[in-house]
């Protein structure tokens, strides 16, 4: 059975654009997984750990047969293949792949929380997500109103049109 999953991607090391494109390509190559839609790329200021370069961010809608924890493991394998290291919390990275939403599922485990716990506070997640989200209501609120209430929305700038799917 295919499950609809929304994913956030970010990169601020190396060829940021290529890193996101490679991650999306690798996601699409996972058995039982198809990338349905991708957002545009947005350039954004770092959050949390500020002593690092600007990020490129995007969102993707994916259909998959994998469970949330299996998909998390697959995404971490892709991150590792693309050179991701986890030295500094919220630090620089070649690629970051986060599960934002998985169907209507709610879960809170040590390694995975769905819906993503901070996504409604982050313009760099909401603005790309809004492009591809098939509903206007996100977690009981209008997605445009959520974007309007984000403190960091003004730091999110369109970098380039849609990422190849």
Q: So which residues are the catalytic ones? A: 84, 93, 96, 98
- Rounded to an integer, what distance in angstroms lies between the CA atom of residue 84 and that of residue 94? 5
Residue written as tokens 């996100």? 138
Strands (DSSP E) contained in 24-65 are 33-38, 40-44, 55-64
Contact between 15 and 74 (Cβ < 8 Å): no
What φ, ψ does residue 102 adopt, rounded to 5°? -135, 100
């Amino acid at each position: 059975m295919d499950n609809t999953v929304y994913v956030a991607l970010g990169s601020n090391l190396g060829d940021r654009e290529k890193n996101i494109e490679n991650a999306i390509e690798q996601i699409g190559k996972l058995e039982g997984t198809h990338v349905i839609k991708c957002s545009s790329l947005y350039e954004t200021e770092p959050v949390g750990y500020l002593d690092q370069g600007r990020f490129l961010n995007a969102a993707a809608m994916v259909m998959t047969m994998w469970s949330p924890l299996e998909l998390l493991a697959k995404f971490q394998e892709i991150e590792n293949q693309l050179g991701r290291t986890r030295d500094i919390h919220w630090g620089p990275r070649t690629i970051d792949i986060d599960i934002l939403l998985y169907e209507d599922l709610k879960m809170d485990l040590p390694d995975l929380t769905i819906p993503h716990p901070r996504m409604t506070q982050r313009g760099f997640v909401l603005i790309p997500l809004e492009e591809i989200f098939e509903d206007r209501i996100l977690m009981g609120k209008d997605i445009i109103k959520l974007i309007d209430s984000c403190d960091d929305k003004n730091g999110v700038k369109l970098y380039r049109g849609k990422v190849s799917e």
